[in-house]
């Protein structure tokens, strides 16, 4: 529901960003199917509300870290979709000149510090950015997105402990989508809610419906305020679901079709659209325009990417050390 603090007209851009992420990833998927994009791809279709709900509350100079499923986080933080698409397509014009790819997005101009191909790999890095933020005393915060699979990694526990001990301005955003790669959470741990771990380390935490944009925003508003005002770390667990496989091409036989159908009903974009319509903030024609604008922009991004040159092989040696 729309809370009192939310100004309805400020909510429309959030819908735009969710659509931009959805259209972008659907385009990536289509290009992958056409073999225009090759390489490991992990899409976050269905999880857009977490990225947008979180990043819409951040400043450009806040530090955001992601994981292997982070196209949406980068877009929500303000990354340029042309350079992002070019990177995923392995082109010289990409953010990382074709050296990073889908799992290793870096968009420093937008404050998206880095993603990682390693589950839990950026959690300690976010601690460091928070440590630097504290030193600089400009009220910056660090945010790290990770999945439920990271909650069983040592890096996660070491980081929660240090963040708590040193009161670092870091917000741990757990996208609990129920599956660690191909395995349901229940096969990996008896701890059903990862926010429980935050309690262990005395970090304030909240578990929210990650497919409800406004609920994510509300929890995140408190978390960001907490970190920004020097009170230390916060932890928000967002219950969500990816509507695709772990990677593009994953037949996802580990998931019941009924479960998928259930989550499709909870699609965060459809839910937020219904809410805005109910509030009479947008009409059907506005919604159609938002979607078609997103598709147009991603189409242009795809054209930019595919028209861009491949990196020259000799470039491999150009950025090994600074």
Partner 1 sequence: MREIAYYEAKFEALNEIMAADPTVHLINGTFLSLSPHRHVYQELANKYRDRVMSPPISELGFCGLATGAAMAGLRPIVDISTGSFIFEGWPQVANEAANAFSMSGGQTRVPVVFHLFHGLRGGGAAQHSASPQAMLWNNPGLEIVLPSSPRDVKGLLKTAVASDNPTIFVDHVQLLDVKGDVPENDSPIPFGLAHVKRKGSDVTVIATSYMVQRCLQVAERLASERISAEVVDPRTLVPFDMATLMTSVEKTGRVVIVDETHQSCGVAAEIAARIVESGFDKLKAPLRRVSTLDVPVSYSPPLEDYIGPREDRIIEAIRAVLR
Residue 158 or 209 with smaller CB distance to partner 1: 158
Tokens linked to 233? 């770390």
Cα(115)–Cα(69) distance, integer angstroms: 8
The span from the first CA to the last CA of the chain, in angstroms, equals 49
Residue among 230, 120, 235, 237 nearest 169 (CA): 230
Residue among 3, 22, 8 nearest 217 (CA): 3
Shortest separation between residue 255's beta carbon and partner 1, angstroms: 29
Residue 95 or 272 with smaller CB distance to partner 1: 95
Residue 87 or 175 with smaller CB distance to partner 1: 87
Residue 235: its H or E element: strand 234-239
Residue 233 or 268 with smaller CB distance to partner 1: 233
Shortest separation between residue 141's beta carbon and partner 1, angstroms: 12
Shortest separation between residue 266's beta carbon and partner 1, angstroms: 34
Cα(301)–Cα(24) distance, integer angstroms: 8
Residue 14 or 110 with smaller CB distance to partner 1: 110
Shortest separation between residue 221's beta carbon and partner 1, angstroms: 24
Residue 31 or 168 with smaller CB distance to partner 1: 168
Residue 46 or 90 with smaller CB distance to partner 1: 90
SS3 state of residue 183? strand
H/E/C letters for each residue in 44-82? CCCCHHHHHHHHCCCCCCCEEECCCCCHHHHHHCCCCHH
Torsion of CA 53, 32, 110, 309, to 10 degrees: -170
Give the CA distances from residue 96 to residues 36, 142, 278, in Å, rounded to whole numbers and listed in that order.
Answer: 18, 22, 42
How many Å separate Cα 279 from the centre of its chain? 27
Shortest separation between residue 104's beta carbon and partner 1, angstroms: 5
Helix axes 48-55, 213-228, angle to 10 degrees: 40
Shortest separation between residue 132's beta carbon and partner 1, angstroms: 4
Shortest separation between residue 64's beta carbon and partner 1, angstroms: 12
Instruction: Give the binding site for partner 1 (CB under 8 A).
Output: 63, 65, 94-100, 104, 106, 108, 113-114, 116, 118, 121-133, 135-136, 142, 154-155, 158-159, 161-162, 165, 318-322
Residue 179 or 201 with smaller CB distance to partner 1: 201
Shortest separation between residue 74's beta carbon and partner 1, angstroms: 12
Cα(120)–Cα(68) distance, integer angstroms: 10
């Amino acid at each position: 529901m729309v809370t009192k603090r939310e100004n309805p007209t400020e909510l429309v851009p959030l819908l735009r960003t969710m659509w931009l992420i959805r259209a972008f990833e659907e385009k990536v998927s289509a290009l992958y199917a056409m073999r225009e994009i090759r390489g490991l791809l992990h899409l976050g279709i269905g999880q857009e509300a977490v990225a947008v709900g979180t990043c819409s509350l951040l400043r450009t100079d806040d530090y955001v870290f992601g994981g292997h499923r982070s196209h949406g986080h980068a877009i929500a933080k303000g990354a340029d979709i042309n350079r992002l698409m070019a990177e995923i397509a392995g082109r010289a014009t990409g953010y990382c000149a074709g050296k990073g790819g889908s799992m290793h997005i870096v968009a420093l101009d937008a404050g998206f510090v880095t993603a990682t191909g390693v589950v839990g790999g950026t959690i300690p890095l976010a601690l460091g950015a928070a440590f630097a933020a504290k030193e600089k005393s400009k009220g910056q915060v660090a945010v790290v997105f990770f999945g439920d699979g990271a909650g069983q990694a040592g890096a996660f526990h070491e980081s929660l402990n240090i963040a708590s001990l040193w009161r670092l301005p870091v917000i741990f955003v757990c996208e609990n989508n129920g599956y660690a790669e191909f395995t349901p959470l229940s096969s990996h741990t008896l701890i059903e809610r990862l926010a429980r771990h935050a309690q262990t380390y005395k970090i304030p935490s909240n578990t929210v419906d990650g497919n409800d944009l406004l609920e994510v925003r509300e929890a995140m508003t408190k978390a960001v305020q907490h970190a920004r005002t020097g009170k230390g770390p916060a932890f928000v667990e967002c219950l969500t679901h990816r509507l695709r496989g772990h990677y593009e091409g994953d037949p996802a036989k580990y998931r019941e079709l009924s479960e998928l159908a259930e989550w499709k009903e909870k699609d965060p974009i459809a839910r937020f659209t219904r809410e805005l319509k109910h509030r009479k903030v947008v009409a059907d024609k506005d919604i159609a325009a938002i979607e078609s604008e997103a598709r147009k922009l991603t189409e242009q991004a795809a054209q930019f990417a595919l028209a861009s040159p491949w990196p020259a092989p000799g470039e491999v040696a150009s950025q090994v050390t600074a």
